A and B are shown apart, each in its own frame.
Chain A
Amino acid sequence: MNKVGIKQFLRAVSFLCLLVLLTVAASYMLAPKDNTPEGGIINPNANGFFSEPENSIEIAVLGNSDAYSGFSPMELWNMYGYTSYVSAEGHQSVAQSYSQLKKIMSRHDLKLVIFETDELFIKSKLAETAAKIINASAGSAFSVFQYHDRWKTTGLRELFKKPCYTAHCATKGQWLSNDVKGYVGGEYMVKTDKKASIPLSAKAPLDMLVKACRENGIELLFLELPSQSSWNYEKHNAVKAYADKNGIPFLDLNIDRDRFGFDWSTDTRDRGNHLNSRGARKATLFIGEYLIRNYSLTDRRRDADYKQWHKDYEEYAKQVKI
């Protein structure tokens, strides 16, 4: 490269640096400054962990709607005293799970991540996946692409404010439903040797998620909650193969249904896609049994710092009608 070339190259690089700086600054300014719905955060329920006391959550549950419908942190707390949070979103992609994991890790010292595997079979755009992973790896420094529209609602003073998280989610991310719409069809877990395939846009971020857990000494558990409409044996085989290869335990409640008295006629809110609060209770208690046998998690029920959790349980219990 000649002299002019070097000069042009340096100029281009410095301009790009300027752009990155501006993007990061805009991301900081436009990021939601609170995790309440009014604060503008997307999926407030999945982000309630920001306002839990620091390092108070030991278990993070990641996944899509299956996870926030079918896992009950409050039941787990009441029976075993473990503190968990469901950071699940409708149609959460694996890249998004990875991003949520990074956010939780920035506030809590996790011991276990429970990953709900239903979302592994949803294809998403590779470019978007890459963008999400880059943003998550950079500590949401590029969140302006997600939150740019907040210029409409944010005030000038709020732009320069530090985030202050105040939301309180008593169900710890669970979405409660007391509806009962039973599933009456036949058996959907028909044994086969066939294996579904996990698309690259899910597998690549999953690898990163596994690596992030491993590097930070966090245990990882794959979980599949009962879902008649989105699950089958081929998917089970695919997850099993991945789990075995990477030495990750895999709990498929679709197969173990009878072992915890699960009943499709009473435990689903929408004819077999999602669980209702009764189904979630049954599933969570079963998972709790598994956790107590296989992990050394902390029972906080007698810990004075966790008094709020007892109150939250009461609040939760009031809302559960079935």
Chain B
Amino acid sequence: MIKQDIEILDEISPGTDWKNQDDLLEKHILDSLKIVQLVGALNDEFDISITPVDLVPENFKNAEAVSALVERLSDE
């Protein structure tokens, strides 16, 4: 799962070392525009629906958090 995520992340913002970033938001690697792009891609890829409620910093602070979010929503 996380590998797939990183592929998607790479498309959004190429050339980032995703695994070793602990705060994507603080460092402005992900801004609101990229988050929207990312969410669109994730929704398509995993057939989930990430809603505005899920768009909180905790869910996007690093690659693990993103895949945890995807996992949680896929279970529902």
Judged by CB atoms under 8 Å, the answer to whether A and B touch is: no
Which residues of A are in contact with B by a Cβ distance under 8 Å? none
